[in-house]
Amino acid sequence: MNTQWTIGIIGGSGLYAIDGLEDAEWRTVDTPWGMPSDDILFGRVGAVAIRFLPRHGRGHVHLPGEIPARANIDALKRAGCTDLLAISSVGALQEELPPGTFAIVDQFVDRTTQRPGSFFGSGLVGHVSMADPTCERLGAFAAAAFSAVGGTVAEGATYLAMEGPQFSSRAESRLYRDWGCDVIGMTALPEARLAREAELPYALVGMVTDYDCWRDDRAAVDVAEIVAQMAANGRIARAAVAHLLRHLPPERTPSPIDTALDGAIMTAPAQRDTTLIQRNAAILARVLG
């Protein structure tokens, strides 16, 4: 088991760079699932190896529903990542999460409709648990780091993943509040599901840019205001990520998520699709040898 950290950072709207990155080099990582959103920025912060992937691509070129999530996670696995920290802009569904809050997500409600959501398929059936879809350990490290640099942190948030690219109607926004969701975004799923299938502990920090449109006495979501808040959030996020990387424990101890595929593959060996196995060579290397 690898005792060294290699942290994959998936940057969303508002986080496009890593402060203090040493030996930085953009590298192309090919995958059987196509090209990821962009090249991956390899580097290190102190003793910690870093792999940074801009989720929407440099210049923000991919719509949320068109992000090549399978290629992204596969590429980060091939790049040697042991853990994934995802950062994404979100809207708030609760009054106590004003713009500028950093929400540590621990649950998801999936309302996406058009995105391939698994590395498995016919001829290679697999099931992993998503009861606790994020990594408690990495989430705690992130919460401490954002607090340390002056960020306002809210832990235990439930993220509603919508298809987009349009924002919610007021009726939808009120419904999601009634469901008990705390923040809303367009990109964390199927990303988190695929990370679990890839045995990569995954934590998500939702950077609140605005209140979603559930409040009758307020105007609807204003894109210009969101962009301005994204910039402010991004400055704190860059400082927090640098702090987290410099304060990780010197040795990475095993996570239960490292073995998420134990017992997950249901298809009998003789009936397994060899093409799909080969396509998933990086994901299945530990369990199929």
Measured between alpha carbons, how far is 80 from 8 in angstroms, rounded to an integer? Answer: 9
Active site (annotated) includes residue 210: yes
CA distances from 157 to 108, 135, 146, 223 (A): 9, 13, 15, 23
Q: SS3 of 259, please?
A: helix
Q: SS3 of 165, please?
A: coil
Q: How many CB atoms lie within 10 A of CB 179?
A: 12
Active-site hit among 23, 210, 258, 262: 210
Active-site hit among 38, 74, 106, 212: 212
Spell out the alpha helix ranges (H) of the chain: 69-78, 136-148, 170-178, 191-197, 223-246, 274-279, 281-288
User: Which residues, other chains included, contact 147 with Cβ-Cβ below 8 Å and sequence gap of 6+?
Assistant: 153
CB-CB contact of 72 with 36 (8 Å) = yes
Measured between alpha carbons, how far is 262 from 128 in angstroms, rounded to an integer? Answer: 9
Active site residues: 210, 212
